[in-house]
Amino acid sequence: MLFFSYFKDLVGREVTVELKNDLAIRGTLHSVDQYLNIKLENTRVVDQDKYPHMLSVRNCFIRGSVVRYVQLPPEGVDVELLHDATRREARGG
């Protein structure tokens, strides 16, 4: 639940989602669900020369299970808040 809540608060921000097939997509986080499926808007592929077939994709749904990383905007990370939430979650909250 921790990361679901965290990503919900991140809606509207620019993130870069890196997939397990090495494709990296940058876009505005539109929505997220409990599986950490992600919908991005105004997307662009980071390495357009390598993946030209993605040029016309402007928004997309990404299945949570194929995500490797999400690069987060520094202003969207409240370290203290994350620590507290993590400790709560670790206690079984």
Partner 1 sequence: MAAAEEESAVKEPLDLIRLSLDERIYVKLRSDRELRGKLHAYDQHLNMILGDVEEIVTTVEIDDETYEEIVRTTRRTVPFLFVRGDGVILVSPPLRTA
The C-alpha angle with vertex 3 and arms to 1 and 62, in degrees rounded to 5, equals 110
Size of residue set near partner 1 by CB under 8 A? 26
Q: Mask: binding to partner 1, 54-83, rule CB under 8 A, as x and -?
A: ----------xx-xxxxxxxx-xx-x--xx
Smaller CB separation from partner 1, 21 or 56: 21
Q: Which residues, listed in sequence order, are joined to residue 41 by a DSSP beta bridge?
A: 28
CB of 87 to partner 1, least distance (A): 7
Give 54: exposed, middle or buried? Use CB within 10 Å, 0-12, 13-18, 19+.
Answer: middle
Residues 6+ apart with CB under 8 A from 1: 34, 89
Which two three-digit tokens encode residue 61? 């749904």
Q: Mask: binding to partner 1, 19-38, rule CB under 8 A, as x and -?
A: -x---------------x--
Residue ranges that bind partner 1, judged by CB under 8 A: 1-3, 6, 20, 36, 64-65, 67-74, 76-77, 79, 82-83, 85-87, 89-90
